[in-house]
């Protein structure tokens, strides 16, 4: 009850975040792994849909250079 009227740190600005903005925000923390990046996305944007967080993760993966262990086959 009352979720529709909730305001505060998880209000409309976080719901309206686009994946590019979310990715840029999380990349400032320099996550070491994709799992850590997704964890940061979940903690920073808990009210955003999973699909939006995954889109942000995808953008982060495109922006980061490949590490030696991630070389394409």
What CA–CA distance (Å, rounded) separates 25 from 19? 10
Is residue 57 a contact partner of residue 40, using CB atoms and an 8 Å limit?
A: no
- How many other C-beta atoms are found inside a 10 Å radius of the C-beta of residue 45? 21
The DSSP code for 32 is: S
How many CA atoms lie within 13 Å of 4's alpha carbon, on the beta-carbon side?
Answer: 1
Q: List the end-to-end C-alpha distance of the chain, in Å, as a whole number.
A: 51
**pTM value > 0.85:** no
pLDDT in tens, 37-57: 999 999 999 999 999 999 999
Task: Give me the residue spans of the domains in the chain.
Answer: 12-63
pLDDT in tens, 10-41: 444 455 589 999 999 999 998 989 899 999 99
């Amino acid at each position: 009850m009352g979720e529709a009227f909730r305001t505060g740190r998880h209000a409309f600005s976080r719901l309206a975040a686009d994946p590019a903005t979310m990715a840029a925000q999380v990349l400032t923390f320099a996550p070491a792994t994709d799992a850590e990046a997704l964890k940061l996305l979940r903690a920073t944007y808990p009210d955003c849909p999973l699909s939006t967080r995954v889109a942000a993760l995808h953008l982060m993966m495109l922006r980061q250079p490949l590490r030696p262990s991630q070389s394409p086959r």
